[in-house]
Every structure is written in C-alpha cells, then in structure tokens.
Structure 1
Amino acid sequence: MARQRTPEGPPPAPAVQKLRIRYAKRGRLRFASTRDFSRALERALRRADVPMAFSAGFHPHPLISYANGAATGTASEAEYFEIRVTERVDPESVRAALDEALPDGIDVLEVVEASAGALADRLEASSWELVVREADPAQVEAAVAAYLALEVAETTRTFKTGPRTFDTRGAVLSMAVTGVDGEGCAILRMVVRHTTPAVRPDDILTALRAVTGFSPPVPPLVTRLAQGPLLDASAGVADPLAADKGAAGLG
C-alpha cells in the first residue's frame, strides 16, 4: 500500500475575517471572462498586500469565492466575491488598495465585513438594462407588450450536457421600455428572478424573437444594474450587503 504523503511545512494561518466585495465591470472589461478576472484579482490582491488566507494541502490557493458572475460581454455594476484574510483589516482601506491594483474598468465599489448568512442565498434576482440600438422604440415597446402577454416563452440553449429547452417568461418579473437615450436608442429595463437554469438577457431576447418576430438589428448593450434580495411588492432588487452594513453599524 502506498504511503500517504502529507504537505511539508507549517499549516496555513487561519482566517480571522471574511470580506464581501462588490465591483463593477465597465467598458472593454465587460469582455473579461471569469478566468481572466480571477487571475487579475489574485495579482491585485498580492500587489495590494491583502493578508489572504490560503487553503491547506499540496496546492494551496487563496480563499476566494465568487457569486453569480455575469456572462462574458455583459457589463455590470453589481458583481460580488468574498475573501478570507489572516489579519483583521479595515474594509475601506482594502477597497481603495484593491481598486488601485486592478485594471481600469474593474472598479471596486464596496468592501464590507461579512455577517452571518451566505451571500449566495441573498442573490435572488437581477435588474438589467439593455440599450437596444438601431431599432424603432415603438417596435421594441410592441414586442415587449406581446411577450408580457404570454404565460410561457421558451428558448433553447446548449449546456455541457447538451441542448436544453426552458421557459424564460416565468423568470421575468418586470420588463418595460423606460425611455430613449441621446442617440434615440430604446432603453429596456427588466427584473429577472434567478432560476435553474439561469435565464439570461440573451435567452429572453431569443424567446422574444421566437414569439414576436422582433430581433434587435445589432446586439444590445447589456448592463446588470443590481442583484440581491427580491422585493416582492415592487419586483425590485434590494442591496445584498445591507445586513452586513447593519451589523457593522454602517446602514
């Protein structure tokens, strides 16, 4: 029987604090993949001298957890991750240092000390904005009205296990053209419940084309404005870090 090896050297220092971090993906950085971001983040944490906690074993890695990241090509004002550190730190100092160390377009907006509860459990819905370019806003409004009148609007997406057809309509809690921008492009806002599989804006646009015949002439500019607990009364999205700020006396 092979003898079980154990890592040499002392065990990693224990984590004494967990931080929850909100950041934005803007401009060209919306095309950064999750893997690209994780590599940039680990480099930035080293440059910012954040006292990261590491896993045990032969291949220790920094204790970072990501939560419901937006798809590549999508901008966002509400991306989240958590880190664990071996020394107590000032969250605002970490925010400033990490923001400075990350590339332009990845902007660290908030850092709070984590309170009880899992962050992932608070991310129940997302608020999205789509700038629909080169389309008549009246056509966009008509397509949205037709979509909202349906009970089911299916689409098909290919997953690792193969193609899967699923409903998009049940996840859409609100959808409306809220105006036009300076170039006359329709601004479409929607609140979408997080489901399994996740219903993404491009899934909704695919279903919209299938059931109404409307298709944006060019891909819309998509931005996640918020994600967090669902406010059932208003179909809005609350701040997922509110409980942490309250526990720290920041709310």
Structure 2
Amino acid sequence: MRDNRGVPLYREEGVVLRTHKLGEADRIVTLLTRGRGLLRAVAKGVRRTSSKFGARLEPFMVADLQCFEGRTLDTITQAETLGAYGPSISADYDRYRAGSAIVETAERLAEGEVSRELYALLVGALRTLAAGRIPADLVRDGYLLRAMSLAGWTPGFGACVRCGAPGPHTAVAVQLGGSVCDSCRPPGSPRLDAGSVALLSALLAGDWEGALGASERERGQAAGIAAAYAQWHLERGLRSFSGPRA
C-alpha cells in the first residue's frame, strides 16, 4: 500500500517499549511489533498538547499503527489503542518497576529476530500486570523465566540439570541452567528453600494459583534467581534491576 505521494505504507501491531524526545515536538518510539520485531519510528508532533495520539504511544501501551517507510526511520501516522496498560502500570511504583524490567528484557531478546510467541508473551504479561490481581514481582519473574525459555534457554527446576539425578534439588546454578544435586553443585551456588524452587517451577509453567501461595521469603529467593538467570543469558545487566526491586 502507498500514500498519494507513492510512499510505502503499512499497518502493524506493537507494544511501546520506550520513547525519547526528538526536536521540540517529536518523539522516537521503540516498539516490539507482532510482525516486524523491533521497530524504531518517529511520531511527529506527539509532544504537543493538541496531539490526537500522543498518549497512545507511551510505554506499556499496545497499539494498532499505520506507518510509512523512511530512509532511516519509519514514521507513525496513525495509532489506535488496543491495550491501554500504560496508565495503570505507570501509576503504581511496583508495577512500574516490574513493567520496566519486562519491556527492557523484551527489547534485548527481540534484537535481530521476529517472534510472535515473544510478542504474545509480552502483551499477556503487561495485561496481567495492569490488572493488578497478581503481585507485580510474580508477574515480572514469571515473564523473565518464560521469555528465556522461548528464547531457547529453558531453566530446569526438577531433576539435576547436569547429571539428571531425580529432584527436586534446592541448590541452583544459574550458569548450568537450574537446579543441581549436591554432587554437581558448583562452589558458591545458592541453596534455596524448597518452596522457592516450587515457586520457580510454578512461574515457569504460568501456574498463578500455585505461585500465589508463596511466602515473602520464597518470592524474594525466586526473584533473585529469575533476575540472575535472565542477566546471565542476556550477557549484560538490566538497567531496571539497578535500583530497589518491586
């Protein structure tokens, strides 16, 4: 499809990951899209108070977009809201911190590839986070583990990931991919409460009913493993984990 100037137009569905200012009134929007993967595009005039769709292009929003192709950056010409998750997430500190970790991870994983499964997982995580019925840290940690799994790094929290000895085991070696028996446990690997290992398994499976019964201690231990596992495989730290956690 082309506009009246012959410029190629296309429609796409995307999640706004982050934005930054461009000039006095424009903004560069980084999105994870359903069909094109990672996309950076210019939204002209969205910082003006008269803009009709500026609020639709804020972080955590899901939008149906019309864009035209440019030489360096594409330009967004229309945006219709499909999932208005931004206001609810941004209004709550815990949800905002969790959401920031989720979209940062999504951006890292999306570099260089298109995955509709990762896109669907991201939209589902933001929808759940915005609803507020599941604690923000559980939504974040479940997303991290499941996103790593979709990217090809599925952690194991049952049998020993090194020798296959039947579990469950309470020692976890992030660098080996999950739970390990005492014989395979590398020096310094953390030992968790049994409930924390069960929580990690529930989060990986998307079992919210099982996850909601975890104690604060178990949630804290699981959060540490989920963050360490994601950052190990991304091979660099996540900015969203540099301060206090949700």
The TM tier, using the shorter chain, reads under 0.3
Task: Identify which of structures 1 and 2 has the higher relative contact order when contacts are C-alpha pairs closer than 8 Å and 6+ apart.
Answer: 1
Q: Which has the greater radius of gyration?
A: 1
The alignment's TM-score, normalised by the length of structure 1, stands at 0.24
The alignment's TM-score, normalised by the length of structure 2, stands at 0.24
Structure that is richer in strand per residue: 1
